[in-house]
Amino acid sequence: MNKREDVLYLTLVDFFLQMLFLVMIALLAYIYVERRHNAEAKQFHDLAKEYKVDSVQELLDRLQTLAPIDNLENAKKAKELIDANGGFKEVNAMIDKFKEGQGKPPCVFEMIEGLKTPKSIATFVATNTSITLMTWQPEFEALAKEIKQPISINRQWSLRSFSASWQPVLNKYPQCRYTVTLYERSNLVAPRDRVQGIFYTRIRK
């Protein structure tokens, strides 16, 4: 065997080894894809069996009846808002208190240009997490003394403690509602709801 034949022989051997290597890689890739396909097929089969779906078309038909994504996002935001205000029970309680106050006359009036107008007896500032007392009228001071609620300039309550602190006003004067002014420094409705649960509220931005 001359030198040229040796080179040709080695070249052929190298070629066959490379082909064998490529075949092995292709075989491994095929096995991987096949196993993955079988696993996904089994997963789909199990889900179809669990939810009684007989075909892909039936699955598509069911998916089309689901709520649109934007509705799901709105529902998620609503749930987050409810959770931030103490859950469904707490929110329902606030709504009930607000409804109870509707239609009841103001407790205090003042004359403005000859008209009998509800008088605002205190001014509050609301943030996302707190309600702060800024100013008040003698009627509010007297009311606070009646229910033994200490007041001072910049006196601050958390949202939940505000409702608990001023709830006695509703118990003491169920036939009417006092009026206050609320300056909102919040992008949430929860602070406003807390104040409106106790007082008629004039909203200011």
Say yes or no: 109 and 140 in one domain. yes
| Separation of CA 174 from chain center | 33
Residues 6+ apart with CB under 8 A from 83: none
The residue to which tokens 């006092």 are assigned: 178
AA identity, residue 111: M
Structural domain includes residue 155 = yes
Say yes or no: 126 and 192 in one domain. yes
> For the chain, what is the mean pLDDT?
79
Tell me what pLDDT residue 101 has: 45
Q: How far apart are CA 119 and CA 110, in angstroms?
A: 5
Structural domain includes residue 83 = no
- For 138-151, what is each residue's pLDDT tens digit? 999 999 999 999 99
Residues composing the chain: 205
Mean of pLDDT values over 112-121:
88
Query: CB–CB of 131/194 below 8 Å?
Result: yes
48 vs 132, more confident: 132
- For 86-105, what is each residue's pLDDT tens digit? 666 666 655 555 554 456 89
Structural domain includes residue 42 = yes
Say yes or no: 27 and 104 in one domain. no
Structural domain includes residue 150 = yes
Say yes or no: 104 and 197 in one domain. yes
Structural domain includes residue 178 = yes
Print the domain residue range for 192. Answer: 88-204
Structural domain includes residue 75 = no
Residue 184 has pLDDT above 80, yes or no: yes
Whether the predicted model's global pTM rises above the 0.95 cut: no
Say yes or no: 103 and 196 in one domain. yes
The residue to which tokens 């196993």 are assigned: 35
Say yes or no: 190 and 100 in one domain. yes
Residue 43 has pLDDT above 60, yes or no: yes
Residue 41 has pLDDT above 90, yes or no: no
Q: What percent of the chain has pLDDT over 90?
A: 42
Question: Residue 23: how many CB atoms within 10 A of its CB?
Answer: 10
- For 50-81, what is each residue's pLDDT tens digit? 666 666 566 556 555 555 555 556 666 666 76
Residues 6+ apart with CB under 8 A from 63: none
Say yes or no: 46 and 128 in one domain. no
Q: What angle do helix axes 159-172 and 88-101 make, rounded to 10 degrees?
A: 40
Say yes or no: 183 and 101 in one domain. yes
Count: domains in the chain = 2
Say yes or no: 128 and 200 in one domain. yes
Say yes or no: 61 and 134 in one domain. no
